[in-house]
Structure 1
């Protein structure tokens, strides 16, 4: 049916479910390219949802803006036909990503080292991963493949990790921006570097996989080491992933069980480097944050044989230096004490037990930042400002329900943020907020604040990171900080059922919570202008990855919605956005 609303007149689905909580029947239609699922010549093969397929197609063929084009939403669009990425008007890396798939495969084969006989099992080796100091690294923004320097001018990876911020919180390096904006950023190649030891095997948990690209991120000497990919793909997408992994004899797959409809496997986390427990010392290797047991519980929730070896490996290692709390979501319906194990009830429990009370806490706002939004109900009382906000405002054992007294600031890119971004409109392909969902919750948009822009007014890059925090009224300090894979949705965080006695979660998510008490602090100081690159900011400041205070949407700002046209103004590369 057609509906007139604040975004214009659009044909919408009659479904009441959100984009991420329903089958992709109303996915944003894409440009008329051959069906990638059929393996059309020259087209990429996809291993994730139909929604992501559509986004990738639109990134490959954005619409070029012409001054002769009508500004009407119904305007026909001129399509670019050149196959080169430069002609497409947006920048990928000048790397092997741009080579034909056949040549990519040849290079992958050429770069492999001779396979070692009889690779050891995970139990016979040390666990290895991202953070050499037992802290997590965070992925938040798109990265380029070809560059080697990660942290600005002249700073190598070792210096960054050894002398970086005391919280060991890192973002993903972005290509095409000024070096100062990559200060303190890492590339996946850096994480997998031989600098941190000899890799024996690895496990990767994610929502989407490009196996060919992933293999190329490993150093050549590690490309034949065992790799386990834990994914949530089903049916056709699973078949494509299997086909893509088949040429790599060292790559095996593990499917996450998603028994509740419309759930996703959305974990993003990079494991630290931990030493093996010395035999006979009778040490548990547990941290004060209970991280080891919580990580094992999360992996056990998959109930998957390939992860049993990794659980055993973790048991044999010392995670005692970990100084963050693990917050996970796993699909299921949980009652009684089990409600506190997962989702936002897990966050509530940790904030109650370990966060310190604050005088006049009702004036300390909550900030949430995310890249996707689910269906939250007809008004704020249905979930956002009831059970979810009750979790976010918890501080200490004596916490009381503050209700509407605590300000709530939600950071989500506006249309203008996307239009003026590094990639322009195609960046919106990774911000899957649909018109079907948005039109049913216009009330939500009054909470929205812009994504940070640099001093020129041009946004650096669109976010894919998700963060939540509690800030002082002047935004100079924070009471806690969470980086997670969980977007603003009930599917990710969980929603109460049966009169509040049961928590239902649809998806796998993973995040880590930073609390000042673990660092012997009362609160974290904040670097308010994260992108300023100011040398006068104290190094002990917590690197919140966007500017504070957040800037409220103006009267003409609208949240980015990915499946409607934008043709009234060109983006930074002269393109329009027209889902056809």
Structure 2
């Protein structure tokens, strides 16, 4: 179906996306977007990312032939009914279906899971602060100081190429995380969705590249075979396939388990294991302290934190039902995680009833907020802010999920009955506009990691009235498109936060779960993982965090570094959310190119 829209002429098939759509979904091989294998990345990934890869390798120059370093404002767009799209009448959910073929593609096994267990960790002292052995400069020393107390939240952004150096102060690249500065690596596990094995191996220091590496993924069939092929050259790499028994689910968790001679570290973050996600995007990282090993003979329940992080992480790993990950759970039991100040919020695929419902998804967040968050004065006026990089189907109107069960979880504060029943709390949703993407460092290809599809958008125009622009001037990252996902409860003046969550979970029922059987059952499709920050765990005598005015400021030490501008700026009448699978041909991006995803 071909029509002329304000963004140029676009074509959309009668297929549609699944309710489980996520940032990392795949379309069937029969998609109307024809594949060009020669221009596809070598690693399995979403159709949106494939389109971005194609446009980077084969850009379509804007007709005037000029490559622009400063992009002029987009031309004024004619108003149209609704939010301005000529939409198809399709109503089926097909966009995120994985390729379905008879049987898995035959591929050689890389290695048995049982051979991939982490090696025994020596009972050595903590990592020395003498960095001469790794050739540390004053810059490295600054990074160490930051980790060793300069950042009490241990919440970091990723480094961005192309912004002023001061805006990368305190930010981390994956090479920083895997540096010998943080420990002498013995073995590691990488949990992720989109994985470029060769690139990942090269992020490890040379002395660690042959250490045992477990990659936990959710690939099936053809994409699983592709991943196996990637791993073949590396004898130290083995794969663990996460079970995805519910249709349209993804293994979306992004976590590292790093075992050192000196101890253990856990990293929970938002980046795929590909170059593009660590280059010019805004991503979030929580980096744990270095956890020392417990004395021999200590019970596994020892070394627990006030937040029960240790037992919750073990429960999450056990949910995979994998012998290899059971081995990693045993390694965690051997370490002292008592210094952890965050709560773990995870999702695992399944249908949960009774008390099991509160272990995962948005009901897990609801329970944590009920049991541990503090009530605040005039809490009805404290908005919920959600920020994400992809959106699933929300239903025919806001009452179907967003403003019912999901909002009820996010507005919970302590045991207040009001917070559990309130339906008036404002919701501010932050998602990039077309112009945000067009004027980004990457230009239109940045939209490959923002795969909101026209098929989803056309069914929920009501949702877009909640949208706010991506803006991060205070951190110098307005032009680094967000792949980070965050949720928080903030004061009406946007100067105080009741809680803050950084997670892999986008705005999706597949990620957070949705009620079935009149609310007696919670169904979750995907694996997700995040950490929740509460003021009570950081020694504050208030029921809120102060918002840090600038990520470059030093005071106060316990002001929270929100990675975007507050208050959020609501979409203006001309603004449209980025839709990845329609063309944008009316104005050039920062590289002088247009966006035509086909």
How do 1:162-181 and structure 2 match up within 5 A? Answer: 162-181=148-167
Indicate the residue corresponding to 1:524 in structure 2. Answer: 545
- What is the root-mean-square deviation of aligned Cα atoms in Å? 3.0
TM-score, with structure 1 as normaliser: 0.81
**C-alpha offsets along residues 406-462 of structure 1, whole Å, 9 cap, x if unaligned?**
111000000011011111111011100000000110100110111114379983200
Structure 1 residues 28, 526: CA separation in 2 closer, same or farther (over 3 Å shift)?
farther
- Which runs of 5 or more structure 2 residues have no equivalent in the other structure? 67-74, 78-114, 129-134, 257-265, 267-287
1:64 is displaced (CA, Å) by 1.1
1:4 is displaced (CA, Å) by 8.2
Indicate the residue corresponding to 2:64 in structure 1. Answer: 67
**C-alpha offsets along residues 492-511 of structure 1, whole Å, 9 cap, x if unaligned?**
00000011100000000000
Tell me if the contact between 1:367 and 1:469 (Cα under 8 Å) persists in the aligned partners: yes
Structure 1 residues 457, 154: CA separation in 2 closer, same or farther (over 3 Å shift)?
closer
Indicate the residue corresponding to 1:513 in structure 2. Answer: 532
Indicate the residue corresponding to 1:414 in structure 2. Answer: 433
Indicate the residue corresponding to 1:230 in structure 2. Answer: 216
What CA distance in whole angstroms lies between the structure 2 residues aligned with 1:526 and 1:182? 19
Give the one of 111, 121, 124 matched to 2:120. Answer: 124
How do 1:246-395 and structure 2 match up within 5 A? Answer: 246-270=232-256, 271=266, 272=288, 273-282=290-299, 284-395=302-413
1:212 is displaced (CA, Å) by 0.5
Indicate the residue corresponding to 1:561 in structure 2. Answer: 579
1:23 is displaced (CA, Å) by 5.8
What CA distance in whole angstroms lies between the structure 2 residues aligned with 1:415 and 1:391? 30
What CA distance in whole angstroms lies between the structure 2 residues aligned with 1:127 and 1:424? 49
Moved more, 177-186 or 443-452: 177-186
Structure 1 residues 52, 422: CA separation in 2 closer, same or farther (over 3 Å shift)?
closer
How do 1:537-556 and structure 2 match up within 5 A? Answer: 537-556=555-574
TM-score, with structure 2 as normaliser: 0.79
What CA distance in whole angstroms lies between the structure 1 residues aligned with 2:398 and 2:298? 53
Indicate the residue corresponding to 1:114 in structure 2. Answer: none
Structure 1 residues 496, 150: CA separation in 2 closer, same or farther (over 3 Å shift)?
farther
**C-alpha offsets along residues 355-385 of structure 1, whole Å, 9 cap, x if unaligned?**
0111210000100000000001010000000
Tell me if the contact between 2:369 and 2:414 (Cα under 8 Å) persists in the aligned partners: yes
Does structure 1 residue 56 correspond to structure 2 residue 23? Answer: no
1:61 is displaced (CA, Å) by 2.2
1:53 is displaced (CA, Å) by 2.7
Indicate the residue corresponding to 2:454 in structure 1. Answer: 435
Tell me if the contact between 1:62 and 1:426 (Cα under 8 Å) persists in the aligned partners: no
Tell me if the contact between 2:116 and 2:214 (Cα under 8 Å) persists in the aligned partners: no
What CA distance in whole angstroms lies between the structure 1 residues aligned with 2:570 and 2:30? 29
1:181 is displaced (CA, Å) by 1.5
Indicate the residue corresponding to 2:18 in structure 1. Answer: 17
Number of residues paired by the alignment?
508
What CA distance in whole angstroms lies between the structure 1 residues aligned with 2:455 and 2:26? 13
Larger RCO, structures 1/2 (Cα 8 Å, 6+ apart): 2
Indicate the residue corresponding to 1:486 in structure 2. Answer: 505
What CA distance in whole angstroms lies between the structure 1 residues aligned with 2:378 and 2:576? 33
1:34 is displaced (CA, Å) by 3.5
What CA distance in whole angstroms lies between the structure 2 residues aligned with 1:127 and 1:444? 54
Structure 1 residues 292, 228: CA separation in 2 closer, same or farther (over 3 Å shift)?
same
1:11 is displaced (CA, Å) by 2.4
Structure 1 residues 120, 220: CA separation in 2 closer, same or farther (over 3 Å shift)?
same
Indicate the residue corresponding to 1:194 in structure 2. Answer: 180
**C-alpha offsets along residues 151-202 of structure 1, whole Å, 9 cap, x if unaligned?**
9x78642122124222111111111111122122111111111112210000
Indicate the residue corresponding to 2:131 in structure 1. Answer: none
What CA distance in whole angstroms lies between the structure 2 residues aligned with 1:203 and 1:393? 35
**C-alpha offsets along residues 503-551 of structure 1, whole Å, 9 cap, x if unaligned?**
0000000000000011122211101444xx3x36533210111011111
Structure 1 residues 235, 227: CA separation in 2 closer, same or farther (over 3 Å shift)?
same
- Which runs of 5 or more structure 1 residues have no equivalent in the other structure? 37-42, 74-118, 134-147
1:542 partner SS: coil
**C-alpha offsets along residues 453-494 of structure 1, whole Å, 9 cap, x if unaligned?**
437998320010000000011011100000000000000000
Tell me if the contact between 1:127 and 1:274 (Cα under 8 Å) persists in the aligned partners: no
How do 1:83-102 and structure 2 match up within 5 A? Answer: none
What CA distance in whole angstroms lies between the structure 2 residues aligned with 1:314 and 1:452? 39
1:67 is displaced (CA, Å) by 2.3
Tell me if the contact between 1:126 and 1:275 (Cα under 8 Å) persists in the aligned partners: no
Indicate the residue corresponding to 2:36 in structure 1. Answer: 33
Moved more, 402-411 or 155-164: 155-164
**C-alpha offsets along residues 303-351 of structure 1, whole Å, 9 cap, x if unaligned?**
1121121011111111111110000000000001000000000000000
Tell me if the contact between 2:474 and 2:550 (Cα under 8 Å) persists in the aligned partners: no
Indicate the residue corresponding to 2:270 in structure 1. Answer: none
How do 1:155-166 and structure 2 match up within 5 A? Answer: 156-166=142-152
1:437 partner SS: helix
Moved more, 59-68 or 307-316: 59-68
Indicate the residue corresponding to 1:464 in structure 2. Answer: 483
Moved more, 23-32 or 433-442: 23-32
2:567 partner SS: coil
Structure 1 residues 132, 53: CA separation in 2 closer, same or farther (over 3 Å shift)?
farther
